[in-house]
Structure 1
Amino acid sequence: MKRSELIVRVISASVSLCLISIPVSSVHAADEQAAAASAATSKQAQKAQRKTDRKAQRAKNNAELSELEKNGYKPAGNQTDYPQNLQNAQRKADAKKQGASAP
């Protein structure tokens, strides 16, 4: 009887382990799918953030160039006095900012 009792216990333990592992493996697969979806969403969010940052930087650069052009800098003009023309325009822009911020 001991042998048959042992066989019954081994079989019941095997069946129990099989039944327990089925839901765990399906939950694990669901977790992997969720992680993959999260990674894709995260990647998309990072890409969108980089695009937003590039657009903001481009807008800032265009605003600075526009301000310099208003103060006399001509990027397509004569470049013989290039650094001096740019520096003069920058000084004028800085002076206007200082004048506007001073009460």
Structure 2
Amino acid sequence: MNLKQFSSLAASAGMALSLTLSPTFQAYAAATDAAASDSVTSKEEMKAQKKAERKARREKKNAELSKLEKNGYNPAGNQTNYPQNLQNAQRKAAGQKPANAPAVAP
């Protein structure tokens, strides 16, 4: 077999192989595209879910802080009696009398 015949045979074999494998590659590409779009959708859904969770946690924290502030706790105020101030506000918010509450004159 000379070089001209060999190159012709090689070209024919290459074309036959590409025609045979073309549907396989197309199916693989379609499956990959579908998986990519599913992962993008799931990523977007996960991102939205995490955002909703963060928003819920922030609302809960702000509601708790607001409740404590209504019951006498001031986070920006004098913090010399910090733990006791916070604990008193927590007890008051829960409906208990604060332990170290100053006596109120009648």
The root-mean-square deviation of aligned C-alpha atoms, in Å, is 2.1
Q: How far apart, CA to CA, are the structure 1 residues paired with 2:54 and 2:18?
A: 54
Measure how far apart 1:24 and its partner are: 2.8
Alignment of 1:77 with 2:63, yes or no, is no
Measure how far apart 1:28 and its partner are: 1.5
Alignment length (residue pairs): 83
The two structures have a TM-score, normalised by structure 1, of: 0.70
Q: Which has the higher contact order (CA 8 A, sep 6+)?
A: 1
User: Within 5 A, what are the aligned runs for 1:1-103?
Assistant: 21-95=21-95
Higher helix share: 1
* Residue ranges of structure 1 left out of the alignment (5+ in a row): 1-14, 97-103
Secondary structure at the counterpart of residue 87 of structure 1: helix
Instruction: Give aligned-pair identity as a percent.
Output: 60
The two structures have a TM-score, normalised by structure 2, of: 0.68
* Residue ranges of structure 2 left out of the alignment (5+ in a row): 1-15, 97-106
